[in-house]
Amino acid sequence: MVFAIYKNLSEKAAFSVRKTIFAVINMETDFMQQIILSEDLNTTLADAIARCGYDKLFVLADSTTARLCMPLVEACAPLREAHLIVIGATDEHKTLQTLSDVWTELGHNGGTRHSLMINLGGGMVTDLGGFAASTFKRGIKYINVPTTLLSMVDAAVGGKTGINFNGLKNEIGVFNPAQAVILDTAFLKTLDARNICSGYAEMLKHGLISTEAHWRELLEFDLRDIDYRRLQALVAESVAIKERIVKEDPFEKGIRKALNLGHTAGHAIESLALEQGRTQLHGYAVAWGLVCELYLSCKYTGFPKDKLRQTIDFIKSNYGVFTFDCKSYEQLYAFMTHDKKNTSGQINFTLLGDVGQIHINQTMGKEEIFDMLDFYRETMGC
């Protein structure tokens, strides 16, 4: 059953994506986050820090970003006085133990309710750091400086924070926006091809939920020979799409569920991969999840077959395939039943009637899900 349909979302409130700063404010909820497209990271970060006001400054990085990205903010004067907290890299460390370690470091190094934290890293750092900041002394301010494409276009933007718990991704967390999110695409050149592809899957999702023109330009982009100027413009457009949705529905009561496209199946594939010791980058799982959920869209909400085919071709050629056989169906289904987005035990999907035509709260039973998995295996050739 369709509870809500949002047509041609991006036409609802057009705004420029080329502006340097755009603030997202929801007057009813006070949910405010400043997104800054930076061309000069050190100056932009210093200005954002100065606007916050604080007594003690902390920087959270993981072992990789501490090594590769800290040097890029060396010239930011306020950071010279900051206390650096370094946590393990990768999602394995997005745990209660790491969170507790961060709280401990904040407490032992003069953190107060008026302190400020800078999260420098990918989605793991911005999610965990955002949660640590949101809970320490009942909440301190924080700024996100995302260093991966995935965190620039998704994780660091929109105020979702959290950690994994009991084997479930982002099981514990709060909605609480950063004071500012600073996007500097210079970091993109530090990323390998797989990490670019991973973030790009979220951009493709933003294309599918926005306009045909944006979806088409994303399919035309060559991920094997990256034009970084072009990528920068696409990132700006992608972030603007997410921000517009978050502004309308910061706490995911309605239209923000559009951002879950590809994620119900995608998270299940990601969890299966993890369980089988074949860990996949999040965006790859989202790309395969899009194959599954566009099939459901085609079957139940009228998504055009030719657009399904074009999107699948792009995904197959850039992301390859995650293989599984029918013995994994029960396990994939079980993972989907644990999804946070479900209500009353029903598995909840966001589907599309066309590019930009969003149908949230589409529930599916086991039979439909097994049929979707059959389609995935057939079409991806596994």
User: Are residues 182 and 144 in contact, defined by beta-carbon separation less than 8 angstroms?
Assistant: yes
Among 158, 173, 177, 266, binds ligand GLY (CB under 6 A): 158
Among 160, 205, 267, 282, binds ligand GLY (CB under 6 A): 160
What is the length of the chain? 382
- Nearest approach in angstroms of CB 109 to ligand GLY is 30
| Beta carbons within 10 angstroms of residue 91's beta carbon | 19
Which of 328/362 has CB closer to ligand GLY? 362
| Angle at 273 (CA atoms; ends 313, 67), nearest 5 degrees | 95
Nearest approach, Cβ of residue 158 and ligand GLY (Å): 4
**Nearest by Cα to 358 from 347, 349, 368:** 349
Least distance in angstroms from the C-beta of 202 to ligand GLY: 7
Q: How far is the CB of 318 from ligand GLY (least distance, A)?
A: 21
**Smallest distance, ligand GLY to C-beta of residue 137, A:** 25
Among 91, 127, 154, 270, binds ligand GLY (CB under 6 A): 154
Among 145, 163, 259, 336, binds ligand GLY (CB under 6 A): 259
Which residue, 155 or 373, has its beta carbon nearer to ligand GLY?
155
Residues 83 to 142 in contact with ligand GLY, rule: CB under 6 A:
none
**What is the gyration radius of the CA atoms in the chain, in angstroms?**
20
Rounded distance between C-alpha atoms, residue 61 and residue 126, angstroms: 9
Which residue of this chain has its Cβ atom nearest to ligand GLY in the complex? Answer: 259
- Residue closest to 341 by CA, chosen among 332, 353, 352, 350: 350
Identify which of residues 9 and 66 has a Cβ nearer to ligand GLY in the complex: 9
Stretch near ligand GLY under the rule CB under 6 A, chosen from 3-11, 74-82, 152-160, 189-197: 152-160
Match 């030719």 to its residue by tokens.
306
Return the H-helix or E-strand segment holding 146. strand 141-146
For residue 256, state whether it binds ligand GLY (rule: CB under 6 A): yes
Q: CA angle, corner 347, sides to 164 and 176, nearest 5?
A: 40
Asked if 114 and 90 count as a contact pair (C-beta separation under 8 A), the reply is no
For the bound state, the minimum distance from the C-beta of residue 184 to ligand GLY, rounded and expressed in Å, comes to 20
With left for phi above 0 and alpha for psi between -120 and 50, is residue 269 left, alpha or beta? alpha
By beta-carbon proximity to ligand GLY, the closer residue of 184 and 243 is 243
Question: Is position 214 an interface residue for ligand GLY (rule: CB under 6 A)?
Answer: no
Region binding ligand GLY by CB under 6 A among candidate stretches 74-82, 105-113, 142-150, 154-162: 154-162
- Is the distance from CB of 283 to CB of 202 less than 8 angstroms? yes
List of residues contacting ligand GLY (CB under 6 A): 154, 158, 160, 256, 259
